[in-house]
Structure 1
Amino acid sequence: MCFGAFTKPSRKITGSSVRCNKPEVADTGLEHRLVAHLEVIYPDIDPAALKDELMTVMRLSNDMCAPRSHRNDWDQSDVVVIAYGDSVCSDGEKPLVTLKRFLDQRLANLIDTVHLLPFFPWSSDDGFAVIDYTCVNDALGDWEDVEAIAADYRLMADLVINHSSSRSRWFENFKRGVSPGKNYFRTRRPGEDVSRVVRPRSTPLFHTFRTVYGDVEVWCTFGPDQVDFDFTEPDVLLEFARIVRF
């Protein structure tokens, strides 16, 4: 599962909230909707307390504008380029800089959107085994290079929220039994039947890792270097909320 997000042209990537100056369209039902969702997803957790924490992390409030219903960000006029950060390279130049120059010189009048595949530090699978979600892979460039693309094109990026690299700090913490990370990953449950799980991989669904608690089987949908998150843990939801608002 990958999470895509648009940034609008001529607008820097930012974590600020949009306040609503018209009280009649303020989203007064935001807290109620959040609680209703959280009650279903986390039935054993106090939804009001989790709602408060989530709103704080996301910097949300009831004076924000209510979202438009049935909003469609796509239509037949959109043309999208999908690229890895190093799809276009030039000697002596960071690939994201080269990509931006290529877009401007060759495609500016033809496209309006760029879908940038994972550009974080990674350990395998062409970027989809993310080590750190808060920085750009130095071999590709930096956040200013990403912002430069977002300034002139609608930008969509992969966040990769279903698994991370087995070499990430979170997974190292999981093996050591410390936070953040000690409860972030999906482990095998007693008596769990996974015989009906189908996946296009030849590696086992579970991989055994040595931890401070002994050998633990961790769910690895795509392979042993990509360890799956356990979103039944609210801490995982809150962590990714922080990243989205980074």
Structure 2
Amino acid sequence: MSWHLGRLAGFDLETTGVDVETDRIVTACVVQCGGGQPTASASWMADPGIEIPEGASNVHGITTERARAEGKPAAEVVADVLAALGQVIAAGIPIVAMNARYDLTLLDREARRHGLTPLPAAHVVDPLVLDKHLDRFREGSRTLTALCDHYDVRLDGAHSADADAVAACRLAWRMGSTRSDLAALPLDTLHSQQAAWAAEQATSLADYFRRTPGKEHQADGVRSEWPLIPHQQDGDL
């Protein structure tokens, strides 16, 4: 059976910002769907322990005051998310995450911050990487909302972790359903191919920044690793 017809586990975070090294989890969702079984979803809200900037609150709707009043301690949420994803990995279910490099790296840093064991290696399906490979030269935005519009996939409420996680699974299913070349790949191969495609995409983006006046400085910040940016130990170069 093709990977897209089996069980999928959507994963999404809403956070305090976009820096995977310093920002924190605000909300998280792990949702299992497909494979002829009922959908099972788990969501969390954390008190991140730092102020949530207004810009981030405007995106996901969670203020510092609300997170402090309703959120669980950050360490508990991180432990719960790691446990949920650990069960998924143990069951051989692929993790589906839009722009997986961001969410999985930030989760890794949160685990280390709280003295928890980071996730083991997993099969990952990233609709962003797949879309850039399948339709490299398409102009326009490639946000989750834009991809859902392009692939005619329902997005019930952008920028909430649960809605985004489900939408990522729907995108992965749609791509597998409409591209027999993707559907035919074993998960091991699909994962390794995405790592290669993500590296190519990063190289292309960095080259674009270098030749674009005013954006040259952004080239050095482009990372090619996927689905996780390796953690730099103290003293590493």
The two structures have a TM-score, normalised by structure 2, of 0.30
| Higher relative helix content | 2
Pair member with larger Rg: 1
